Amino acid sequence: MNEHVINAKPTPGLSFDTGRTASGSPLIDPRLFDSAEFRKDPYPYYRILRDHYPVYWDKLHNRYLITRYKDVTDAYLDDDAYNTITKGSSNLVNGNTFLELGGREHARRRKIFGNHLTGKHLEARLPAIRRLALSMLTAAMGPTAEKMLNKDVHYGKVFNLGADFADEFPICVIGEVLGFPDDAKKHFYYWYYTIQQGLKGGEEAKRAMAARKELEDYVCTLIVQRREAPTFLYDEDDQIVGNDVISQLVHAKINGVLLSTPEIISMISVLVTGGGDTTRGAILHMWRLLLEHPEQFAAIQDDPELFNSAFHETMRHSSPVGGMSRSTNHEITLHGTTIPKGAWVELVNFSANHDESIFPDPDSFNIFRPELYVGREVQRGFRVNEKYSHVGFGAGSHFCPGAWIAHQETVIASQVILSRFKNPQLLRNSMTLNSEGELEPMYVDRLSEMRELWISYD
């Protein structure tokens, strides 16, 4: 083993040289995964893993990383080998949820829950999402114009797409779709944010459990009320389009038996904790990428339906979620590496989405990418009509149940924003820049930490 370092300060797209084997293959030091350099730009290192260690045993963290697109998608679809999800801080905060079940019990509960977020049930909710996006954007645009009237800013108006819209919009959608009354909405963001922070563990987890108890007590009251008198969702003309999710869940049955209150609370908790950050990240990432690629943005201005393609390419290029954990049900041998039964396995979405054997020139953002599938989100497959889906939501039986509504939220909100913003441009000087005067890349191997996106518009 011949270890040496040749790059004291690598540029983006280049990795540190952490040594090579006698045959010349690059070595990977597992301490790398905890480094700021890796979090800043993990893709060069993932390429090393795909090329040389497609199943990598990270001895430091006692886990196996699977990084090639085909291997990741195969694993997602193999419930026999990879069905169990490891428990972590999410279980500590939320308790047992259907996400941690497998087989028939998982499928039964997921079907009840997922049916309300897809198909005709989702279609019934789109007017409410559009109405909410328009209302929130209209309310936010007025005062925002005064926030940056300093320095040398001479633009007509400015808008922080993060704090002024994307941070709260997905949470408000969840409250609307679930059927939380107006008097609860002022608490809803607190419940969501505190529970989300608690996933980190420590003191935040204690506060999260207290917030979840508050949410649980409130939902218990709603369940009793909705069993007696269900409530409804309305379209832009205040016409009833269907029951809200809580009103539907309280009358849902498994094997002829109504769901219990703890089961309903568990399902609601999943949507509360998982339904905000992905959509917020998708909105911010997509708008930054589009504004950094003016020719593609011009095409969207001519045809706003292209936001659907932009969403898929954003989830491939800069997905807010880096990967998902699994636990092996039996011993598996893959590419010459044996993964023992009960091992912690990471299915690395970031790496799979940048596998150059599937997506040529993967680091480039291109909404017209010919090999990328851009239709309705697919759960069981990943290859549709010779095109390949991103794996930002996973695949198979544990495919993100909120994927379809996250897609619609992002596209609808973006179309509303586009209709209100004329000549939008990134306001770079008002955002955090690195030492070289450039925006920091959106490469973070965990849920998106992007919090601001300042836009000027006429």
Q: Is the pLDDT of residue 147 over 70?
A: no
pLDDT over 60 (residue 399): yes
> Domain residue spans in the chain?
1-31, 42-457
- The answer to whether the CB of 2 falls within 8 A of the CB of 20 is yes
Quickly count helices (H) and strands (E) in the chain. Answer: 17, 15
Q: Average pLDDT in the 215-235 region?
A: 85
CA dist 306 and 290 (Å) reads 11
> Average pLDDT, stretch 379-395?
82
Which of 62-71, 149-158, 423-432 comes out lowest in average pLDDT?
Answer: 149-158
pLDDT computed for residue 388 by the predictor: 94
Please determine, for residue 376, whether its predicted confidence score (pLDDT) is greater than 90: no
| 2 SS3 class | strand
Residues 262-271 have a mean pLDDT of: 77
- Supply the pLDDT for residue 21: 80
pLDDT at 73 over 80: yes
What average pLDDT does range 409-433 have in this prediction?
A: 87
Asked if residue 199 has pLDDT above 80, the reply is: no
Q: How many CB atoms lie within 10 A of CB 414?
A: 23
Q: Which residues have C-beta within 8 Å of that of residue 30, sequence separation ≥ 6?
A: 58, 59, 60, 61
pLDDT for 126 equals 83
**Residue 85 — pLDDT band, cuts 50, 70, 90?**
low
pLDDT band with cut points at 50, 70 and 90 for residue 8: very low
- The tokens describing 44, both together, are 């060069």
* pLDDT over 60 at 88, yes or no: no
Higher per-residue confidence, 236 vs 175: 175
Environment class of 229 (CB within 10 Å of its CB; exposed 0-12, middle 13-18, buried 19+): exposed
Section 251-277 average pLDDT:
76
177: left (phi over 0), alpha (psi -120 to 50) or beta: alpha
Question: Is 99 in contact with 69 (CB distance < 8 Å)?
Answer: no
Looking at residue 157, what is its pLDDT? 81
> Helix, strand, coil % (nearest 5) of the chain?
50, 10, 40
* Cβ contact 280:178 at 8 Å: no
pLDDT at position 149, please?
40
Domain covering 42-457 assigned CATH 3.30.420.10 in the classification? no
Structure-token pair, residue 372 = 């990328």
- Name every residue whose Cβ is closer than 8 Å to that of residue 203 and which is 6 or more positions away in sequence: none
237 within 8 A of 128, measured Cβ to Cβ: no
163 or 50: which leads in pLDDT: 50
Give the mean pLDDT of 146-158. Answer: 50
Res. 189 pLDDT band, cuts 50 70 90: confident
Lowest mean pLDDT among 33-42, 120-129, 334-343: 120-129
DSSP state of 322: -
Supply 398's token pair.
């544990």
Residue 228: which residues within 8 A CB-CB, separation 6 or more? none
Q: What is the pLDDT of residue 340?
A: 96
Mean pLDDT of the chain: 80
Of 296 and 422, more confident: 296
Q: Residue 223 is which amino acid?
A: I
pLDDT at 293: 95
Contacts of 328 (CB under 8 A, 6+ apart): 81, 82, 339, 340, 341, 342, 343, 345
Q: How far is CA 91 from each of CA 25, 98, 243, 451, rounded to the nearest angstrom?
A: 40, 11, 29, 26
